[in-house]
Amino acid sequence: MMQESATETISNSSMSQNGMSTLSSSQLEAGSRDGRSSAGDTSSEVSTVELLHLQQQQALQAARQLLLQQPGSGLKSPKSQDKQRPLQVKQLPQQQQQQLAAQQLVFQQQLLQMQQLQQQQHLLNMQRQGLLSLPGPAPGQAALPGQTLQPPAGLSPAELQQLWKDVTGGNGTGGGNGGGLDLSTNNSSSTTSSSNPAKASPPLSHHSIANGQSPILNHRRDSLHEESGGTHPLYGHGVCKWPGCEKLCEDFGQFLKHLNSEHALDDRSTAQCRVQMQVVQQLEIQLSKERERLQAMMAHLHMRPSEPKSSPKPLNLVSSVTMSKNLPPASPPNLPQTPTTPTAPITPMAAMPQVPSVLGGANVPSMGAMRRRHSDKYSMPLSSEIAPNYEFYKNADVRPPFTYATLIRQAIIDSAEHQLTLNEIYSWFTRTFAYFRRNAATWKNAVRHNLSLHKCFVRVENVKGAVWTVDEVEYQKRRSQKITGSPSLVKNLPSSLGYGTALNASLQAALAETSLPLLGTPGLMNSDASGLLGGSPPGLLGGSPPGMLSGSPPMLMQSAHEELNGSLDHLDTNGHGSPGYSPSAHMPPIHVKEEPLNMDDDDCPMSLVTTANHSPELDDDRELEEGNLSEDLE
DNA sequence: CCCAATCTAAACATCT
DNA sequence: TAGATGTTTAGATTGG
C-alpha cells in the first residue's frame, strides 16, 4: 500500500513537474537559454529530474537577478557565479527587459515552489512515518498561482541547500557546514523516500527534528523578530535556526545579537520570510490533500469509512513497526485500521515495512528484539495501541510491537479473574493476534520462558492445576526502571512497524497520556478499539486460520459482546471504566488462589469451550477498555 | 564497546 | 510413554 502510495506520489510529482514546465515553458526557454547552454547539457535524453534541475538553476539565476535589480535590495551578488554570467538583461531593449523581468518573476516563483515542494516532501515523508503532526490546512490560504500541490520533485538535499543558500544570498552568516537549510539530516529520504519512504528514511533523531530538521515547524509560529526571554524559536542547540543560517551562538545573547545584525529587516530577510510563509502554506495545503487521500484509501480498504477523520490523528503515531507507531487512541500511525476483509490477508507492508510478508513467517528471526520495549519503554498503554487496530492485529499476520511479557500481562489482566492458565494465555495470543496463529512452538516456548523468567508473573497452584497471575508491583517496578532509564526517545521502530520511529513512539506515548479520558469513554473505545482481550473462546484456535476471521464491525461486536457469557462478569468484576479496576491488577497472587474452582468453570467455557462462531472480539472490547483504563491509570 | 532487554532455541525436569 | 507445563541456559539481536 505504501509503496503504491509512493508510486502514486512519484507519478504525481512528475505530473506536477510537467505542469510546472508547461506553465511557463516558453518563458523558461526564453529566459533560461543561457542557463541551459552554460549548463552544457547536451545529452539527448534528459530525465525529468535533470530537466527540473536545469529549470531550477535557471529559475535560481533569474530570481537572483531579479533580486539584485530590486532597488534598495540588500542582497549582494553571489560572487562567483554571477560574475561568470554577466547580466544580459542590461543589454536588452527595455521592452525585452520588462518581459524578462516578468519571466524572472515566474522563475522566482518556481524556485520558491520547488523549495516548498521539496520541503513538503520532506514533511510528508515524516508524516508518513508518523513523525509529524501537522495542523490542518489554514483556511483561506491559497496556493501560489500556477502552483500545483503535488509532491515535489526529487531535489537532492544538496541541491536544496544550494537553493537556500542562493536565496539567502550566498553564504549568509552561516557558520559551520555552509548553513544551508538543514535538510541533510534525512537527506536520503528526499530522493529515495519516494519509492520507499519507510525504509529509505533514516531514523530521525529527536535532535534532528529539534534542530533544524523541521525549521518549518519552528517557524510556523515565529514572527520575524519575535523574541522571548531566554528562548527563541529561531534559536536552538546553540545554533541560529534561521533558514539557511546555522550560525553558532554561544549563548542567547549572542544569538540575539546575531539575529539583529544578520537577520535584520531587509530585503533578504523579507524574502526568506516570504519563502517560509509559502512553504508553510504549501505544507498545510498538501497536508489536507494527503489527508483526503488517506481517507479515500482507508475507505477503499474498508476501514471504517464511517469515521470521518476530519482531523485524523496526526500520523505521528505510527509505530513502527511496530505498531508502534501508533498513536494512543489514535492508531498506529500508519496502520490501516481494522481491515475487514479477512479473505485478503492484510499486508501492512506499507505500514510495517519490516514486517515479513504475510504468512511468510520468515520474519520471525529478524524480529528479534525489535519490538521490544515499545510499550514498556514509552509507557505506551498496550491496549490503547492495540485497541484501535484490534482488527488489524487480529487479521493481519503482523507481529505486534510488544514484548511477550507485555502481552502476557495484558492477557492476564484482561481476564475476568486476572489469572489464566498457560493454555488460556496461548488462546489469548492466537485469538488476539493473527501472527500467533503460526509458529506455535516458537512463541509458546517464548511465552513459557517469559512466565518463568519474569518475577512479575506468579504461578499459582490451583486445584485443577496452575494459573498465572501478574504481580503488578513487580511489573511496574520493572517498567519504571526502563522508563527512567531511557529518557531519549529516539529510535526507529521500524523493525516492528517500519513506520515509526522512536519519535513516533514518544509522540504516541505522549498522546496516549493525554488521551486517557478518551480511553475511558466507552463510545470511543467501542468504535475504535473493539476489544482486544477478553475471554472469548478460543474458537479461533482450531478453527479459523488466519485470514478467516470475520471482521465484525466494532459496533456489532459490541452488541454481540453483551451476549457473551463473560461480558457481564467482566463488567462487574472490573468495574467498567472505573479506576477501581486497577486494584484488581494489583491483586496479590493469594487472592487469585482463593477462587480457583469458579474461575475454572468460567474460564473454561469462555476460553476453551466454546462459542464457536460468535466473534471473539466481543468480549474483548470491553476488556480492552478496561485494560486501557487500568494501564492508563497506572 | 559494553550492557541490558528481548527473543529464539533447546535441554531438562516434572506432572498429567 | 507422550505431551503439556516449567525451568534454565545459551546465543543472537537491538538499542541505550
pLDDT digits (tens, 9 = 90+) for A173-184: 333 333 333 333
Instruction: Tell me the C-alpha distance between A295 and A545, whole Å.
Output: 29
Which of A449, A452, A453 lies closest to A441 in space, CA to CA? A449
Q: What angle do CA A559, A560, A563 make, to 5 degrees?
A: 105
Render pLDDT for A195-231 as a digit per residue (tens, 0 to 9). Answer: 333 333 333 333 333 333 333 333 333 333 333 446 7
Return the higher-pLDDT residue of A201 and A395.
Answer: A395
Whether the predicted model's global pTM rises above the 0.85 cut: no
Q: What is the pLDDT of residue A244?
A: 73
Instruction: Tell me the C-alpha distance between A191 and A444, whole Å.
Output: 43
Q: Which residues touch strand B (CB under 7 A)?
A: A 364-365, 367-369, 371-373, 376, 402-405, 439, 441-443, 445-446, 448-450, 465, 478, 481-482
Task: Please state whether strand C lies within 7 Å of residue A488 at its CB atom.
Answer: yes
Q: Mean pLDDT over all residues of chain A?
A: 48
Render pLDDT for A491-532 as a digit per residue (tens, 0 to 9). Answer: 333 333 333 333 333 333 333 333 323 322 333 333 333 333
Q: Which residues pair with A239 in a beta bridge?
A: A236, A248
* pLDDT of A280 over the 70 cut: yes
Q: What is the pLDDT of residue A167?
A: 41
Q: Which protein residue has its CA closest to C1' of C15? A: A491
Nucleotide nearest residue A453, measured CA to C1': C7
Q: Which nucleotides of C are covered by protein (CB under 7 A)?
A: 4-10, 12-16
Nucleotide nearest residue A448, measured CA to C1': C6
Return the higher-pLDDT residue of A69 and A440.
Answer: A440
Instruction: Tell me the C-alpha distance between A448 and A425, whole Å.
Output: 10
Task: Please state whether strand C lies within 7 Å of residue A341 at its CB atom.
Answer: no
User: Which of these CATH numbers, 3.40.1280.30, 3.40.1370.10, 1.10.10.10, 1.20.140.10, describes A384-481?
Assistant: 1.10.10.10
Return the higher-pLDDT residue of A623 and A397.
Answer: A397
Q: What is the distance in angstroms measured between the alpha-carbon CA of A544 and the sugar C1' of C15?
A: 37
Task: Please state whether strand C lies within 7 Å of residue A426 at its CB atom.
Answer: yes
**Percentage of the residues of chain A whose pLDDT score is greater than 90:** 6
Dmax (CA) for chain A in angstroms is: 103
Q: What is the distance in angstroms measured between the alpha-carbon CA of A457 and the sugar C1' of B12?
A: 22
Q: Which protein residue has its CA closest to C1' of C13? A: A368
Q: What is the distance in angstroms measured between the alpha-carbon CA of A479 and the sugar C1' of C4?
A: 31
Task: Please state whether strand C lies within 7 Å of residue A133 at its CB atom.
Answer: no
Q: What is the pLDDT of residue A448?
A: 94
Most confident range (mean pLDDT) of A34-48, A80-94, A183-197, A434-448 is A434-448
Nucleotide nearest residue A372, measured CA to C1': B6
Return the higher-pLDDT residue of A234 and A332.
Answer: A234
Residue corresponding to grid cell 530522493: A191
Q: What is the pLDDT of residue A452?
A: 92
Which of A454, A511, A99 lies closest to A519 in space, CA to CA? A511
Q: What is the distance in angstroms measured between the alpha-carbon CA of A68 and the sugar C1' of C15?
A: 51
Cell numbers at A347, concatenated = 499486508
Most confident range (mean pLDDT) of A248-257, A289-298, A417-426, A547-556 is A417-426
Instruction: Tell me the C-alpha distance between A472 and A451, whole Å.
Output: 14
Instruction: Tell me the C-alpha distance between A183 and A199, whole Å.
Output: 18
Q: Within 10 A of A91 (CB to CB), how many other CB atoms are there?
A: 9
Which residues 6+ apart lie within 8 Å of A113 measured at CB?
Answer: A20, A144, A147, A278, A282
Nucleotide nearest residue A399, measured CA to C1': B7
Q: Which residues pair with A248 in a beta bridge?
A: A239
Most confident range (mean pLDDT) of A6-15, A112-121, A369-378 is A112-121
Q: What is the distance in angstroms measured between the alpha-carbon CA of A422 and the sugar C1' of B14?
A: 16
Q: What is the distance in angstroms measured between the alpha-carbon CA of A121 and the sugar C1' of C6?
A: 53
Q: What is the distance in angstroms measured between the alpha-carbon CA of A232 and the sugar C1' of B13?
A: 65
Q: Which contacts of A87-94 are long-range, i.e. CB under 8 A and separated by 24 or more positions?
A: A88/A34, A89/A65
CA A195 remoteness from chain centre? 17
Q: Within 10 A of A523 (CB to CB), how many other CB atoms are there?
A: 9
* pLDDT of A459 over the 80 cut: yes
Instruction: Tell me the C-alpha distance between A203 and A206, whole Å.
Output: 9
Instruction: Tell me the C-alpha distance between A131 and A328, whole Å.
Output: 14
Nucleotide nearest residue A439, measured CA to C1': B8
SS3 A528: helix
Cβ A393 vs Cβ A576: under 8 Å? no
Instruction: Tell me the C-alpha distance between A389 and A409, whole Å.
Output: 19
DSSP percent split of chain A into helix, strand, coil, nearest 5: 55, 5, 40
* pLDDT of A352 over the 80 cut: no
- Specify the pairing of strand A235-236 against strand A457-462: unpaired
Q: What is the distance in angstroms measured between the alpha-carbon CA of A135 and the sugar C1' of B16?
A: 61
CA A223 remoteness from chain centre? 28
Render pLDDT for A609-627 as a digit per residue (tens, 0 to 9). Answer: 233 333 333 333 333 333 3
